A and B are shown apart, each in its own frame.
Chain A
């Protein structure tokens, strides 16, 4: 099993450009998450999906959109990138609810917005 995979690993954007971060899991998990990690701020939840077809905002959703394409895939879109979105982005998944089950993380995407 590959676990949680993310593409791309690195990306550099100019302000105003758009891009989609892809995430897939092969563990048949119901819940999937997008986090951003900034120095000294730990992990902040952007969006999560408790099941296929549902998505909910997390702590810092502004400037992002998500799509739960199917049970395996959960993508994160930046419509108009801003320098404040420079961060490391992690996708994660779990069998059940976020605070009740182990979360499995992907390797991350390091995004720089110039």
Chain B
């Protein structure tokens, strides 16, 4: 069955350090890929998405993600985190041959150390 795995429930990073959040999916074809962010007490907001083309995708707030077909991964990166990046991050996968059903990962909570 199709699934999305975010292996890290929590990640703690020092302010100014680099960040990588992992996302792996299980799906037979190349899906549409999304990263959303949820700040405390708020709804989700799209950070970036990949549909096709260049496998390195730039998003808002200085985030980027790289699609690696061979690893079925879509990891989110930021070179230098800010305290305002503390939030929960969700990876999601759109199944293009299943009526574009969307599968969500369980989320990774990012904690920033001052």
A binding-site residues for B, Cβ under 8 Å? 4, 40-45, 90, 92, 96-100, 102-103, 105-108
Nearest-Cβ distance from residue B103 to partner chain A, whole angstroms: 8
B31, B41, B43, B107: the one contacting A90 at CB < 8 Å is B43
B9, B43, B95: the one contacting A99 at CB < 8 Å is B95
B binding-site residues for A, Cβ under 8 Å? 9, 31-32, 34, 36, 41-46, 49, 90, 92-96, 98-107
Does the CB pair A41–B106 fall under 8 Å?
A: yes
The distance in angstroms between the C-alpha atoms of A43 and B107, with both chains bound, is 9
Does the CB pair A40–B9 fall under 8 Å?
A: yes
Nearest-Cβ distance from residue A25 to partner chain B, whole angstroms: 12
Does the CB pair A97–B105 fall under 8 Å?
A: no
The distance in angstroms between the C-alpha atoms of A45 and B90, with both chains bound, is 14
Chain A residues with CB below 8 A from B46, complex form: 102-103
> A40-B106, A42-B107, A100-B96 known; A108 and B101 CB under 8 Å?
no
